[in-house]
């Protein structure tokens, strides 16, 4: 398996871990009764600021992961894997890992820097695939 695909699989596992972490914290804060209901009403209380930040970080990763998946798939199907594309995939993955604590702890401007690095890596992978 190529490094790019390993990074994509790892990013998927990070995404799943983020969801599990948010779900666990939300259940502990609000209680499972709300989460097993049809959720026709607002939660009985808002999430704590930390859990709300983790939820937003998860949603951000969900959006970013789609672009990265398209980029890695395109590079792979085009047969354009190289040291550069592997390095870009690793940089994306590293940036996404760092994005989570940066969002949770409100590290500014690092949260935006890590987002930008991941986004740029995905765009560069797409450009390379097209060359």
CA distance 34 to 91: 38
Three-state DSSP class for residue 36: coil
CATH of 3-40+47-130, one of 1.20.120.550, 3.30.1330.80, 3.50.50.60, 3.20.20.70: 1.20.120.550
Find out whether 72 and 4 touch, Cβ atoms under 8 Å.
yes
Q: How many CB atoms lie within 10 A of CB 117?
A: 18
**Residue 105 main-chain phi, psi, to 5 deg:** -95, 5
Does the pTM surpass 0.85? The reply is yes
pLDDT, tens only, 35-65: 677 767 777 788 899 999 999 999 999 999 9
Residue 91, burial from CB neighbour count under 10 angstroms (0-12, 13-18, 19+): middle
Name the pLDDT band for 89 (thresholds 50, 70, 90).
very high
Which has the higher per-residue pLDDT, 27 or 72? 72
């Amino acid at each position: 398996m190529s490094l790019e695909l390993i990074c994509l699989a790892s990013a998927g596992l990070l995404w799943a871990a983020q969801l599990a972490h948010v779900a666990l914290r939300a259940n502990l804060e609000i209680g499972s009764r709300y989460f097993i209901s049809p959720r026709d009403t607002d939660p009985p209380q808002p999430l704590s600021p930390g859990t709300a930040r983790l939820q937003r970080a998860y949603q951000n990763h969900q959006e970013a992961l789609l672009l990265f998946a398209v980029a890695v798939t395109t590079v792979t199907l085009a047969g354009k894997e190289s040291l550069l594309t592997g390095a870009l995939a690793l940089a994306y993955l590293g940036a996404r890992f760092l994005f989570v604590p940066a969002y949770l702890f409100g590290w500014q401007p690092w949260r935006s820097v890590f987002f930008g690095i991941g986004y740029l890596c995905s765009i560069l992978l797409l450009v390379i695939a097209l060359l």
